[in-house]
Chains A and B, each alone.
Chain A
Amino acid sequence: MADDDPIVLYQHPPGWGLASRDAACLAVQTALKLARLPFTVNNAGNTAVSPTGELPLLCAGEELFSGFGPCLAYIRNRDTSDVFNALTDEEGASAKAFMSLVQVELQYAKIYWYWFEEDNYTAVTHPRFASRFAWPLNIFLAWRQQRDYHALLSTKFEQVSAEKIYAAASTALDALSARLGDSDWFFASPSALDCCVAAYVSEILGAGSELPTPALATIVRGHPTLVAHAQRVLAQLE
């Protein structure tokens, strides 16, 4: 791994005024900017590019890193300004715990909100997903994607129901805003956790402006400090 390998970020396309419509991609892009690493973006949004079938994918020279965790680990290695190495061990562990909280609770809530809220699915999610493939293949692929997401949600929730999933997301947001308090950042200076939380909050607020059932966005808006924090993180990088 050379330190001058050009970095290409394969991500879901931009939308809602954000650099990517997908939180994990947005978080990685924010982290890259925070670490001041030069990179180019591929907005094709083709998940099959990735060996694991997930975006974001970082391509650095010959190396590939797919998914938020591996991408972040790579950025941390390349980070010369030491933005990501400023935390103490204890803070690092707590950041890790909060990040996995976000990636499970908010991710699952997001999936439910997009794919299983009937009118969101018909009005936005399905047309957007289906537009990437030709008819009639898109009908089958959307059906299969929905089925896979249902199986994923079932691994965590015995009953895939709105109340349970949103309640879990709400609890996670409570914990995050309690940790943030009145500070500008989760720790003394901006860190990977700020990128991650801000990305999820921004995506959910962005999608809430478009989806007919804004349930999850309403929950997020109930945490004004997190909303302000997300704006602060993204503004920092303009």
Chain B
Amino acid sequence: MATNEERAKYQRAFAESATRPVIVDHVHVDGLTFTNPETVTYASKAVFEAKTVAEALQAASASAVELQRLGIFKSIEVTVDAAPYQPPPQVHDPSSPQHIEVTFNVTESSRLAASSGTLIGNAEVDWETNATLRNALFGRAEKLSLNYAVGMRNKAAYMLDYIQPISGDPDRFIHSSSAHQRRPRSLHSQLGLPVMVYIACNTRLLNIPFRASMLVREQAGHSLLSSIKHVLTHDTRNDTHLATQGKLVEWTQEFAGIGGDAKFIKSHVQAQFNQAFFNENLIVSASLWGGLLSMLGGTESRISDRFFLGGPNSLRGFTVRGAGPHDKGAYLGGDAYVAGAAHVYSTMPFKFLRDTFGRSLLLHGFASAGNITQIAPDQFVVPRLLSLFQPGSMRYSVGAGVVFRSGMARLELNYCVPFSAAGTDNFRAGFQVGLGVSFL
């Protein structure tokens, strides 16, 4: 650790040399193998404008930031050094400019990136896979990405994106995008057609903050879930995102314990009823969700298997998973939960608004309530389930806003007013944006 005196010395030395005039002779970019050199010219040319040491350092780090923004480099190191060629020294003239050169030592990122993931939430499983080519076609920082998503709720979508920065400027680019969406209406739509899914996944809690709750920390590490899931759906709705007619009843059961670490039966029910009035200008909708995780063999449930409550598609007015059992900033989830909501949707009030938005933008009002609890292995299930309905521990929210329905998802903006007896819940009165395909 430098003492104050030393620090002052360095600062003085820097202040003296900072105003020293310089001429930038060269800017090198080392480490380009498949990137077109023209791509980096734009970001690095500002360095030549520098007149003093301080300006050169500033310009060099600003250029490094611009280069980083192209998204094609894993790392960028900047070196500012005296140029190899120096004119004869004029020893007694400190104002004669020093010739310097700036080197950017870059490491290029891999050109192909592929990812695949499963998003599980709100009784919804989306499988998404993505392949991205960066800088691979022309070496001009272009990005081509193909995204394919399949959801359990009858959606499949492709999206192809192409982004081309113009002459290496990360702020100016051509972006073209094409999307295609498929909507098979078969698999889940009849009562009595069971759908079985086998799930095997290696669960690990990653990136736990250093000061995380020890309850969360103790659950870190590898564990293997091996389960069979059965989904029974009766869906007569005319639209999955904002139906005017019909109902949905879905019963999901998951049995884990054929090998693997976790042994449980997890049941989830979801019901939704929709009815339109006044020539479909007013829609009334009611939803009910409930879940129970029963552990087998007296073990305690794991965070990754539990239910969570809260979020713009669940209990509105709360942050995502922001309601329920809690320890030091971490929401631990519950073994049983129940949530219900009543919605009223109406078309826009004025004719010109109705003509503009039609039925894709609707006014929305809702009232919702929910509760979640943990069940310890030695506790009886029924009293714990009844405790969910105690008014004192319930979480409520009411709100109003607008809902925009597009083909792929629904987007809602609501002003929410939540109430909760539990001070540890994360909720706030205010606007909340929700985007989703499954919602309470």
| Dominant SS among interface residues on chain B | loop
C-alpha gap A135/B224 in the complex (Å): 8
Indicate if the CB atoms of A64 and B220 lie closer than 8 Å: no
A59-B214, A137-B202 are known contacts. Are A48 and B260 too (CB-CB below 8 A)? no
Q: Which of A46, A47, A62, A141 contacts B211 (CB 8 A)?
A: A62
Indicate if the CB atoms of B221 and A47 lie closer than 8 Å: yes
Q: What is the size, in residues, of chain A's interface with B at 8 Å between Cβ atoms?
A: 16
C-alpha gap A8/B215 in the complex (Å): 13
Q: What is the size, in residues, of chain B's interface with A at 8 Å between Cβ atoms?
A: 18
C-alpha gap A47/B217 in the complex (Å): 10
* B223 interfacial contact with A, CB 8 Å: yes
C-alpha gap A46/B205 in the complex (Å): 13
A44-B218, A51-B210 are known contacts. Are A137 and B204 too (CB-CB below 8 A)? no
Indicate if the CB atoms of B220 and A48 lie closer than 8 Å: yes
C-alpha gap A64/B217 in the complex (Å): 11
C-alpha gap A42/B218 in the complex (Å): 10
Indicate if the CB atoms of A134 and B224 lie closer than 8 Å: yes
* A49 interfacial contact with B, CB 8 Å: yes
A134-B226, A137-B202 are known contacts. Are A49 and B220 too (CB-CB below 8 A)? yes
* Chain B residues, CB < 8 A from A135: 259
Indicate if the CB atoms of B218 and A46 lie closer than 8 Å: yes
C-alpha gap A62/B220 in the complex (Å): 18
* Chain B residues, CB < 8 A from A44: 218
Indicate if the CB atoms of B224 and A133 lie closer than 8 Å: yes
* Chain B residues, CB < 8 A from A49: 214, 217-218, 220-221
A48-B204, A49-B217 are known contacts. Are A137 and B210 too (CB-CB below 8 A)? no
Interface string of A28-56 (1 = CB under 8 A from B): 00000000000000101011110100000
Can you name the residue of chain A whose Cβ is closest to the Cβ of B208?
A: A51
Closest chain A CB from B347 CB (angstroms): 53
C-alpha gap A64/B209 in the complex (Å): 12
Closest chain B CB from A142 CB (angstroms): 11
* Chain B residues, CB < 8 A from A8: 214
Can you name the residue of chain A whose Cβ is closest to the Cβ of B218?
A: A49
C-alpha gap A51/B217 in the complex (Å): 9
* Chain A residues, CB < 8 A from B208: 51
* B180 interfacial contact with A, CB 8 Å: no
* B161 interfacial contact with A, CB 8 Å: no
Can you name the residue of chain B whose Cβ is closest to the Cβ of A44?
A: B218
Indicate if the CB atoms of A137 and B218 lie closer than 8 Å: no
Can you name the residue of chain A whose Cβ is closest to the Cβ of B262?
A: A134
C-alpha gap A192/B98 in the complex (Å): 57
Can you name the residue of chain B whose Cβ is closest to the Cβ of A64?
A: B210
* Chain A residues, CB < 8 A from B211: 62, 64
Q: Most A CB atoms within 10 A — which of B204, B222, B259, B261?
A: B222
* Chain B residues, CB < 8 A from A42: 218
Can you name the residue of chain B whose Cβ is closest to the Cβ of A57?
A: B217
- Taking Cβ atoms with an 8 Å cutoff, the residues of A that contact B are 8, 42, 44, 46-49, 51, 59, 62, 64, 133-135, 137, 141
Known: A46-B221, A133-B261, A134-B259. 15 other contacts (CB 8 A): A46-B220, A47-B221, A48-B204, A48-B217, A48-B220, A48-B221, A48-B222, A49-B217, A49-B220, A49-B221, A62-B211, A134-B226, A135-B259, A137-B202, A141-B222
Please list 11 pairs of residues, one from A and one from B, whose beta carbons are closer than 8 Å in the complex, sorted by A's number. A46-B221, A48-B217, A48-B222, A49-B214, A49-B218, A59-B214, A62-B211, A133-B222, A133-B224, A134-B223, A137-B202
